[in-house]
Chains A and B, each alone.
Chain A
Amino acid sequence: MRIMSRLVGLLAGAALLAHAVPVAAQAEYPARPITLIVPFAAGGPTDIVARIVADHMSKTLGQQLVIENVVGAGGTTASTRAMRATNDGYTIIMGHMGTHAASVALYPKLAYHPSKDFETIGLAAGTPILIVARKDFPAKDLKDFVSYVKANADKMNMAHAGVGSVSFTTCLLLNSLMGVKPTAIPFQGTGPALNALVGGQVDYMCDQIVNLVPQIKAGNIKAYAIGTPERNPALPDVPTSKEAGLPAFHAVAWNALFAPKGTPKPVLDKLTAALDKALDDEATRKRLFDLGSDIPGKDRRGQEALSKLVTSEIDKWSPIIKASGITQ
């Protein structure tokens, strides 16, 4: 593949020389399909957000955004690859809370730095995090939940989807707020973890709303709070963490577009504008809302807002992860 793209590059270069129009390409961006790297498997929450947003961006840009799923090492394999890609705007990445914030503390030998090695394009859509427990968990609300977990800390089994996953880091936040260290039961991905929660083999977990709505509605699990400032239309009965008395539990698995460092500003601006347009499109918004997504308002969009978010998120997660003693 690498050889292929080099060959294509060489051919393209030769063609440009032959026609002696070396600068024309820049003005016509995008002149060919754009690769959008998704650091997780097809079908997962980040992939779905990427595909929905990319669908509308392709229309605006007049070129297809081709999704390439590169999995591995909590999304850092993909991010490393994106960092090393040619910074011409034809390779961008849908980074998220893990790859572009929590990774700094989780992986001491990380090959990239989220804010130093990437240009920001903009925040796409986030997936709110919920605190959920098995259906027969003996607590009627979040306050009850917290006191019960505190009183029975040595008996509690908390499930998570693997070290470094969103469900893992957000549960670290929850546990540090409650001041408990329950037994953490690791699973390979959200599906098996949720299965164990529905089966009553574990007590509680934190996870992204997309996966949970049907289980909560069916009464297979209990939801205690959602980590966003407002309630979610998909689950209007679930209180926010602020309403439920744990305001510091603010957790949204955000997804955002990044480009390799040094990507030309005009190119970035085109991508930012296309993303902005997609997030304003009624049909796109409806698809995202149906998933329970958190769509950023105007003030949280754009390149600068994302740069600030990345910095603040790194500051937020690093101490929590370091305190837990887990690094890879």
Chain B
Amino acid sequence: MLELLNNLVFGLGVAITPMNLMLCLIGALVGTLIGVLPGIGPVATIAMLLPITYGLPPVGALIMLAGIYYGAMYGGSTTAILVNIPGESASVVTTLDGFAMAQQGRAGPALAIAAIGSFFAGCVATVVIAAAAAPLTSIALLFGPAEYFSLMVLGLIFAVVLAKGSVLKAISMILFGLVLSMIGSDLETGAGRMNFNIPELADGIGFVVIAMGVFGFAEVLRNLEQSHNRDIVNAKITGLMPTRADLIQAAPAIGRGTVLGSVLGILPGGGSIIAAFAAYTLEKKLAKDPSRFGRGAIEGVAAPETANNAASQTSFIPLLTLGIPPNAVMALMVGAMTIHGIVPGPQVMTKQPDLFWGMIASMWIGNLMLVIINLPLVGVWVRLLRVPYRHLYPMILIFCCIGVYSVNNAPADVYMTAAFALVGYWLVKHDFEPAPMLLGFVLGPLMEENLRRAMLIGRGDATVFLTRPISGTLLTIAAILLLLSVLPTLRKKRDEVFVE
């Protein structure tokens, strides 16, 4: 304990030089500003800003990059709340209640609670990393293909619970998402699948393309038909900050979200997105009146935002302790480290303690900066909603296009986004919800890959999913959840959960 404290103080000493504080602030600010552009999530933001860190000393560069990362993550949530466009996969859930709150004129409290929840989660997750990075890593290594597959099954069952309308429609949307995710190349043989020999489809469809299309563009289309219904502009904006009642309502959700996020974040791959969905599902299940969810429940914003921030922070654990990047953002971080002559790996902690502990301390400072930057910015963002639609919509479309293009520098992605706008519009018109589809789309490849890996390693023996303890447990939980929603005796109760 004392050692932990010493290490943290040492880290703070590294991070709190005026230079590093400044870099952290710039990183968080720039990350927020760029992350707020729809379509430009953390990966694109870091990729774009990576070169500006080359001239800095390594510790400073990493502190700045970490700031950019948190800033961009938070920026992604801002667009989810304000204009119903998730900046990255983990903020898909935030659109559900965040945008509903914005439509009721409560964008301010939604943004503020997201910042406050994220800060709380950041503080806790920093301590988790400092105290338990090494043991947590060994848990992550226990997760083999079979375990990941079972985790994804559990994740998809969460997605059913997310739906606020018909269960059948939710399931069909998940399946639609799974099918979309299969477009591209076969993992094992490299053969093209459902890509009609179109080279642009060889690697499948990007998340940003679908998210911008069905959320961003479709939202614009839908609003164009309602020339008189301009609820965001006309709704009276009731206060920028959450009220006491809001805080009391959100506090337990923030606590639970932090725990879920911290635990799931260490798992490479879909950790942060599953954390966000799981936290939302948990709140909806625990709520006295689940029907408020999807219509602007503040817990529906607080829980996933907290969970995804906790997860995005603990996702540094495999990188810091093992040197293996668990996701695309972390892979960029590895690139940044290697360019600065640091080879990330198990030795970083002992060989470069200033870097290791400085970075951990800077995570906490970065989260603090985010609150400092974002609470005053809430007013600015909310005012943005007062921009007349005839100006706002072309702007959203243009920024979406820039965002979509910037991910792969591919014009074809922009055309595909336009096509998905029509799909999204049709779906919304027929009461299909896009969120379960996106979850299916994001988790689909992970599920398929791990299923096939587990079957390959098990030489076709499907019982591995049940005989491996962690995998078996996860599948049991999934089965229980499914059973709960199928059992006829519980039907009435379930209907209350699912149907408005």
Chain A residues at the B interface, C-beta cutoff of 8 Å: 1-2, 41-44, 47-48, 51-52, 55, 67-73, 77, 80, 106, 109, 111, 157, 162-164, 183-189, 191-192, 194-196, 198-199, 201-202, 210, 213-215, 217-218, 220, 287, 290-291, 326-328
Q: Are A183 and B331 in contact (CB under 8 A)?
A: no
Q: Mark B181-217, 1 if CB is under 8 A from A, else 0.
A: 0000101111110000101001100000000000000
| Cα–Cα, bound, A52→B336 (Å) | 12
- Residues 432-470 of B, flagged 1 when their CB comes within 8 A of A and 0 if not, give 000000000000010001001100110100000000000
A157 CA to B458 CA in the complex, in Å?
Answer: 10
A48 to B346, CA, bound (A): 21
Q: Name the 6 nearest CB pairs between A and B, nearest first.
A: A214-B345, A43-B335, A163-B190, A218-B346, A199-B141, A201-B144
CA distance A327 to B190 in the complex (A): 7
Q: Does the CB pair B187–A215 fall under 8 Å?
A: no
**Interface status of B117 (Cβ within 8 A of chain A):** no
Is there an interface contact between A287 and B456, defined as CB atoms closer than 8 Å?
no
Interface residue B347 (Cβ < 8 Å from any Cβ of A): yes
B134-159 vs A, Cβ < 8 Å mask (1 yes, 0 no):
00000001111100000000000000
Contact of A328 among B142, B190, B456 (CB under 8 A): B190
Contact A291/B345 with A2-B411, A194-B324, A214-B323 known, Cβ cut-off 8 Å: no
Q: How far is the CB of B446 from chain A (nearest CB, A)?
A: 9
Alpha-carbon distance A68/B409, docked complex (angstroms): 8
Partner of B328, one of A41, A77, A187, A194: A41
Q: How far is the CB of A316 from chain B (nearest CB, A)?
A: 20
Given A106-B190, A195-B268, A214-B323: A73 and B203 interface contact (C-beta under 8 Å): yes
Given contacts A43-B335, A194-B324, contact A328 B191 (CB under 8 A): yes
| A residues in contact with B51, CB < 8 Å | 51, 67
Using A199-B144, A201-B144, A328-B191 as known contacts, say yes or no to A44 and B411 having CB atoms under 8 A apart.
Answer: no
Contact at A202–B457, with CB atoms within 8 Å?
yes
Q: Mark B73-108, 1 if CB is under 8 A from A, else 0.
A: 000000000000000000000000000000000000
Given A42-B47, A185-B453: A163 in contact with B145 (beta carbons within 8 A): no
Contact status B347-A163, CB under 8 Å: no
Please indicate the chain B residues that have their CB under 8 angstroms from the CB of A109 in the complex.
197
Residues of chain B contacted by A220 (CB below 8 angstroms): 322, 346
**How far, in Å, is B336 (CB) from chain A's closest CB?**
7
Write out, one digit per residue, whether chain B residues 46-70 have a CB within 8 A of any chain A CB (1) or not (0).
0100110010000000000000000
Q: Is B144 a contact partner of A291 (Cβ separation < 8 A)?
A: no
Pairwise interchain contact B324-A42, C-beta atoms closer than 8 A: no
Max count, chain B CB within 10 A of own CB: residue among A42, A70, A194: A42
Bound-state Cα–Cα, A43 to B65, Å:
13
Q: Are A215 and B345 in contact (CB under 8 A)?
A: yes
Cα distance A300–B38 in the bound complex, in angstroms: 47
Q: Summarize A's interface: helix, strand, loop or mixed.
A: mixed
Residues of chain B having any CB pair with chain A under 8 Å: 47, 50-51, 54, 141-145, 185, 187-192, 197, 199, 202-203, 268-269, 318, 322-326, 328, 331-336, 338-339, 341, 343-348, 405, 408-411, 445, 449, 452-453, 456-457, 459
Contacts of B343 in A (CB 8 A): 210, 213-214, 290-291
Instruction: Provide the bound-state CA to CA distance between A218 and B323, in Å.
Output: 11
State the CA gap A55–B340 with chains docked (Å).
13
Cβ contacts under 8 Å, A162 to chain B: 187, 190
Residues of B within 8 A of A71 (CB): 203, 408
**A44 CB → nearest B CB, Å:** 7
Contact of A164 among B190, B192, B197, B405 (CB under 8 A): B190
Asked whether B47 lies within 8 Å of A69 as measured between CB atoms, the reply is yes
- For A196, give the chain B residue with the smallest CB separation: B144
Asked if A44 and B144 make an inter-chain contact with CB atoms under 8 angstroms apart, the answer reads no
In Å, the complex CA distance between A184 and B189 comes to: 10
* A-side contacts of B325, CB under 8 Å: 191
| Contact in complex: A72, B410 (CB < 8 Å) | yes
For A111, the chain B residues whose CB sits under 8 A away are 199
Q: How far is the CA of A287 from the CA of B341 in the complex (A)?
A: 7
The 18 sampled A-B contact pairs (Cβ below 8 Å) are A1-B405, A42-B47, A47-B335, A48-B335, A52-B339, A70-B409, A71-B203, A73-B199, A77-B199, A163-B188, A192-B269, A196-B145, A199-B142, A214-B345, A214-B346, A215-B322, A287-B341, A327-B190
CB distance from B62 to the nearest CB of A (A): 13
B347 with A218: CB separation less than 8 A? yes
**Chain B positions within 8 Å of A201 at CB level:** 144-145, 457
A42 adjacent to B50 (CB under 8 Å) = yes
Q: A281: shortest Cβ distance to chain B, in Å?
A: 15
Whether B345 lies near A72 (C-beta < 8 A) is no
B residues less than 8 Å from A327 (CB atoms)? 190
Q: Please, which residues of chain A bring their CB within 8 A of the CB of B189?
A: 163, 326
A43: contacting residue among B326, B332, B348, B405, CB under 8 A: B332
In the complex, what distance in Å separates the CA atom of A42 from the CA atom of B143?
A: 27
Residues of A within 8 A of B411 (CB): 1-2
A290:B341 contact, CB within 8 angstroms: yes
Chain B residues within 8 Å of A52, by CB: 339
* B144, A51: Cβ atoms closer than 8 Å: no
In the complex, what distance in Å separates the CA atom of A304 from the CA atom of B348? Answer: 42
Cα of A215 to Cα of B343 in the assembled complex, Å: 10
Minimum CB–CB distance from A125 to chain B (whole Å) comes to 13
**Residue from the list A70, A80, A198, A213 in contact with B324, Cβ < 8 A:** A198
Whether the Cβ atoms of A213 and B345 lie closer than 8 Å is yes
Interface centre among A44, A164, A185, A215 (most CB of B within 10 A): A185
- Cβ contact within 8 Å between B190 and A326: yes
Within the complex, which residue of B188, B191, B336, B347 is in contact with A186, where a contact is CB–CB below 8 Å?
B188
A261 to B54, CA, bound (A): 32
B456 touches A185 (CB 8 A): yes
Q: For residue A183, which residues in chain B have a CB less than 8 angstroms away from its CB?
A: 456-457, 459
Q: Is the CB of A195 within 8 A of B324?
A: yes
A192 cross-chain contacts in B, Cβ below 8 A: 268-269
Contact call B338/A291, Cβ cutoff below 8 A:
yes
In angstroms, Cα B328 to Cα A184, docked, is 24
Q: Is the CB of B347 within 8 A of A217?
A: yes
User: Bound complex: CA of A106 vs CA of B338, how far in Å?
Assistant: 30
Q: With A and B bound together, what is the CA distance between A45 and B347 in angstroms?
A: 20
**CA distance in complex: A199, B145 (Å):** 11
Query: Nearest-CB distance from A256 to chain B (Å)?
Result: 20
The docked-state distance in angstroms from the alpha carbon of A217 to that of B331 is: 20
Chain B residues whose C-beta falls within 8 Å of the C-beta of A69 in the assembled complex: 47, 409
Apart from A80-B199, A184-B188, A188-B449, 11 more pairs, CB < 8 Å: A70-B408, A72-B203, A109-B197, A163-B189, A183-B457, A185-B457, A194-B324, A195-B268, A196-B144, A199-B142, A201-B144
Q: Are B187 and A188 in contact (CB under 8 A)?
A: yes
Chain A minimum-CB-distance residue to B340: A287
Please determine whether A191 and B326 come into contact, CB atoms closer than 8 angstroms: yes
CB distance from B197 to the nearest CB of A (A): 8
> B457 touching A44 by the CB < 8 A rule?
no
In the bound complex, how far is the Cα of B452 from the Cα of A91, in angstroms?
40
Q: Give chain B residues whose Cβ lies under 8 Å from the Cβ of A291.
A: 338, 343
CB distance from A61 to the nearest CB of B (A): 17
Please determine whether B408 and A42 come into contact, CB atoms closer than 8 angstroms.
no
